[in-house]
Structure 1
Amino acid sequence: YVTHEYSIGDFVLTSGEVPAMLILDSMVRLIPGVLNSIESALTDSFPHGLLDHPHYTQPRIVDDVAVPDVLLSGHHAKIQKWKKEKREERTQKKRPDLWKKYLSEKNRNGE
């Protein structure tokens, strides 16, 4: 009989293997030593309650999309500000449920 239920989203799959692997992967990575550094897990997409900011790589322009100048500036405070703005923009647009929760947490913390 079922003692616990977990949801990975609102969709139907052909079997339980893929959802089981997804849940297992998300949990195992938190075990010390599985990742090179626990910092990797702590700084993933949701430590701020927001979706992650865009990531860029070489070359600087791909399909007419350029790496934003601020990311190449070396100005750490401006880079952090840009990342936060992008996390907020993405979350508000793609996950209004998370956005609402984030705003509620900010209000509760007096931010």
Structure 2
Amino acid sequence: MPPLNGPSIYKLALCEDKKCVEEVVDEYLKSLLKPQSANEKFKLLQENEDEEDEIDEKIVANSYLFTEILIKRILNADLDIDYIFEDLKSKLGNSHPVVIFLKELIEE
């Protein structure tokens, strides 16, 4: 995984394997513990994606994997899934794949 500065969630679009996505999940969960400034915006994707069509499938696949790993971490650590869902929904919006996948898993 290439090193990046800035929000760790940007790395999700660049992840090529499960280990990378696991690191992004862990960094996201750690970010919940530290206060964020009002100007800091949480994103799963970089804003300037030039090859959107080519990246879409990878982003959706990584979003699903992110959600799957996140659920496992939530269950293992007995975290509040509703809080995490609301946090992601407020930061990513209702139509982001992670939010959609997480909502479906919660409803099951």
TM-score category (smaller protein): 0.3 to 0.5
Q: Normalization by structure 2: what TM-score?
A: 0.33
| Structure with greater contact order relative to length (CA < 8 Å, sep ≥ 6) | 2
When you count helix as a share of all residues, which structure comes out higher? 2
Q: Normalization by structure 1: what TM-score?
A: 0.32
Larger Rg: 1
